[in-house]
Amino acid sequence: MKILLSGSSGLIGRAVARELRNHGHNLLFLVRRPPASEDEVYWDAQTRIDNVARLEGINAAIHLAGRSVACRWNAVVKEEIRSSRIASTQLLVRMLGSLEKKPHTLLCASAIGFYGDRGEELLTEQSAPGNGFLAQTCVEWETAAQEGQRHGIRTVSLRFGQVLSPEGGALQRLLPIFRWGLGGPIGNGRMWWSWILLEDVVHAILFLLQREDCTGAFNIVAPNPVRNREFAQTLARVLHRPAIFPVPTLFLRVLFGEMAREVLLASARVYPERLKEAGFSWKFPGLQDALVHAVSNGSGS
C-alpha cells in the first residue's frame, strides 16, 4: 500500500515507519519542516498542507502527530496540546475528504486519557469518557477523526496506554533512576497503570490497518493492567535493584500541577476488549516479560 504518515519523528511513528517499510509498503510523510526528500510533504499541522495533490493515490493514512503532554501545563501549553491534536486531525480529514480518490482507511491516535481518573473501575471501549482537560481533548480529537466516516473512509481511533520502550516515553526516563537503586512507586502505588510494549503497539496498528471490519475506538493496551506499585516492583526486579523510594505525590503536584493529577496520579484500569474480540494476539501480554524484553533490547541509559 501507499500510506500517509504523520508524527513519524515520535516514538511510535519511528517504529511504525520501520515496520511498514519492512512489509514493503510505500510511505509518504507529513513533516513540519522543509521537505528533504521526495517522500515528504510539508504541513503546519493546523492550517495547510502543501501540494495536496501529492496525497492522491494513497491507500491509507496513519495520524500520530501531537504535542507531548509530559510537561507542566499552562494556558499556552494546553492550547498547543489541543490544537496539535484536534485542529491537525480536522485539517487532515478535510484534505483526505477532498481527494478525488479517497483512502480507504484512517488510523488516528488518541489516548486512554479519554477515561480520566477512574479509580478501580474496569474500563472498556464502551465506557463513558471521564472528566478533565485530557478527557475532553480526547473526546474532541476522536470526534474530529470520526468525520472521516462521512467521506467513506474507515476510521479507527487508537487509544494508546503507557507505551513501554527504552527508546522513549516513561520507561526511558525511569530506567536510569531504577538502575541507580532510587526507584519506587508513586505515593501509595495503588493507581492502575495500563501499559503496552512498543512492539505490540506497532503490531496492533498493522493489524487494524488490514482489518477492514474494524472501525471506531480501540484500547491499545496490554490485557493485564497493573497497579503502579506492582510496576515499580517488577521493573526493579528485572534490573536486580530495590524499589524502596516512593515518590511523594505532593512533590509531583507542586512540580507538575494539573498534569500530575491527570497523567501521573490518575488511575485508569483499561482493558482492550475490542482488540481481543477482533483476534489480536499480544507478543508480550505480561509485564515482567515485556520489561525483560525492553531492557535487553535497548540501551535505556
Query: Going by DSSP bridges, is the β-strand pair 105-111/60-63 parallel, antiparallel, or unpaired?
Result: parallel
Least confident of 38-52, 84-98, 125-139, 281-295: 38-52
The Cα 142–Cα 57 span in angstroms is 25
Would you say domain 2-296 falls under CATH 3.40.50.2300? no
The Cα 161–Cα 155 span in angstroms is 19
What's the confidence (pLDDT) of residue 297?
80
3-state secondary structure at position 72 = coil
User: Could you give phi then psi for residue 81, rounded to 5 degrees?
Assistant: -60, -45
Confidence of residue 299 (pLDDT cuts 50, 70, 90): very low
Nearest to 147 by CA among 200, 195, 94: 94
pLDDT tens by residue, 204-244: 999 999 999 999 999 999 999 999 999 999 999 999 999 99
Mean pLDDT for the chain overall: 95
One-letter amino acid for residue 128 of the chain? A
The Cα 185–Cα 245 span in angstroms is 7
- Which sequence spans correspond to the domains of the chain? 2-296
Give the distance, in angstroms, between the CA of residue 68 and the centroid of all CA atoms in the same chain.
10
Confidence of residue 298 (pLDDT cuts 50, 70, 90): low
pLDDT tens by residue, 263-288: 999 999 999 999 999 999 999 999 99
Q: Which residue reads 501529492 in cell numbers?
A: 54
The arithmetic mean of pLDDT across residues 250-271, rounded, is 94
Beta bridge partners of 171: none
Burial class (CB in 10 A: 0-12, 13-18, 19+), 18: exposed
Over 50: is that where the pLDDT of 301 sits?
A: no
Contacts of 203 (CB under 8 A, 6+ apart): 19, 280, 283
Query: Going by DSSP bridges, is the β-strand pair 162-164/195-197 parallel, antiparallel, or unpaired?
Result: parallel
pLDDT tens by residue, 73-123: 999 999 999 999 999 999 999 999 999 999 999 999 999 999 999 999 999
User: Could you give phi then psi for residue 257, rounded to 5 degrees?
Assistant: 60, -130
